Amino acid sequence: MQQIEPIGLPVRAALQPTGLYLELREIGPEQLHDPFMQETVQRVPARQSIIQILKEDLGKGSPNSTPAGLIFHVGRCGSTLASQLLKHHEQVVVYSESIAVNEILVPPRKWDRAELVGALRSLAAMLAQHARKPYVLKLSSWNTLNCDIVCDAFPSTPWALCIRDPLEVCVSLLQQRPGWLRDAGSPSHLFAAMVDPEQTCRTPEDYLARLFAAYCRAVGNLDTRRGKLVPYDTLPEAVWNTLAPHFGLSVDDQAKSLMSDASRTYSKSRVGSSIVFVPDGTRKRAAASPELRLAVDTYARPELERLVTRFGQ
């Protein structure tokens, strides 16, 4: 029997005048147990190589290489739980918050929209070869601002948006900021042009509320026939009742049992550790300052309500 040569996992991307460069690591899809793909890259020793895809060849991969599903989210909303539970489904590989995707989409950009779409399709072709089965892309939260570009790259792929009460999301982000949000509210922030184009924000609370609103507006411009909203309070059941079927995945009793058992563990636990999940919504709402409550009610909540209405939920 002929042995199939493994395809490297694309872990980094660089857009250059001549084309797209991808760093590959010899990490198999069966090793992607970590909450985030980058954690697997750091945990698993592996040989690396670099490939180049010429600019004129971007997006020329197989039409069968598109993801089975896309998961957008607003941050701290259960998206990691959703992606971790899907990993218990034998029919699919899940790539969670790929740094390579981030490096294609991050501003400031030197490539035009069509070239970005081509780069995403070429990356997807490599992921499809790596997975050798259907796969799901769980995006980083800020990728939601560019969900139109991602959906243009994969026009036939169903997508979902994980959402949560904006007050709880903003409290969590204020208490523990990811690196890309450390200067939130500054006019120099990477996404200020999309979140605060008139540069009227004065506080991080104001900026985060507007960021949430920007997520909702961006998703509101997508084709709702391809999309589903996955509210935080419907998890974990929504993973096997809504999300998996939306992505064309049938869930039998065994898979449902595995997912249900895994949902009792904190979804961001490191491989080898098992932390029991403790609901924290009440604590987060109690920690919200008056300034944050006002900002959320002014900017975030109205946009969320408009989005939910558009989806008929």
Q: Which of 239, 267, 265, 268 is nearest to 251 (CA)?
A: 239
What pLDDT was estimated at residue 5? 56
Q: Is 138 helix (H, G, I), strand (E, B) or coil?
A: strand
Q: DSSP alpha helices (H): ranges in 96-203?
A: 99-105, 113-131, 147-153, 166-175, 192-195
Q: How far apart are CA 43 and CA 23, in angstroms?
A: 17
pLDDT tens digit string along 21-67?
999 999 999 999 999 999 999 999 999 999 999 999 999 877 789 99
Mean local confidence (pLDDT), 275-296? 96
Which of 160-164, 275-279, 295-299 is least confident?
A: 275-279
Using CA atoms, how far apart are residues 159 and 124, in angstroms rounded to an integer? 15
Has this prediction a pTM greater than 0.85?
yes
Q: Please report, rounded to a whole number, the percentage of residues in the chain having pLDDT higher than 90.
A: 91
pLDDT in tens, 129-183: 999 999 999 999 999 999 999 999 999 999 999 999 999 999 999 999 999 998 8
The confidence score (pLDDT) of residue 274 equals 86
pLDDT, mean of residues 255-266: 97
**Residue type at 158?**
P
Q: What average pLDDT does the chain have? A: 95
Measure the CA–CA gap between 219 and 147, rounded to whole angstroms.
7
pLDDT at residue 289 tops 60: yes
Please tell me the predicted confidence (pLDDT) of residue 188: 85
pLDDT at 313 over 80: no
- How are the residues of the chain apportioned to helix, strand and coil, as percentages rounded to the nearest 5? 50, 15, 35
Report residue 6's pLDDT band, with 50, 70 and 90 as the boundaries.
Answer: low
Residue 91 has pLDDT above 70, yes or no: yes
On the question of pLDDT at 4 being above 70, the answer is no
186: pLDDT confidence band, cut at 50, 70 and 90? confident
Quick: pLDDT tens for 104-138.
Answer: 999 999 899 999 999 999 999 999 999 999 999 99
**Helix (H) / strand (E) containing 212:** helix 204-220
User: What are the structural domains of the chain?
Assistant: 9-310 (3.40.50.300)
pLDDT for position 187: 85
| pLDDT at 3 (0 to 100) | 44
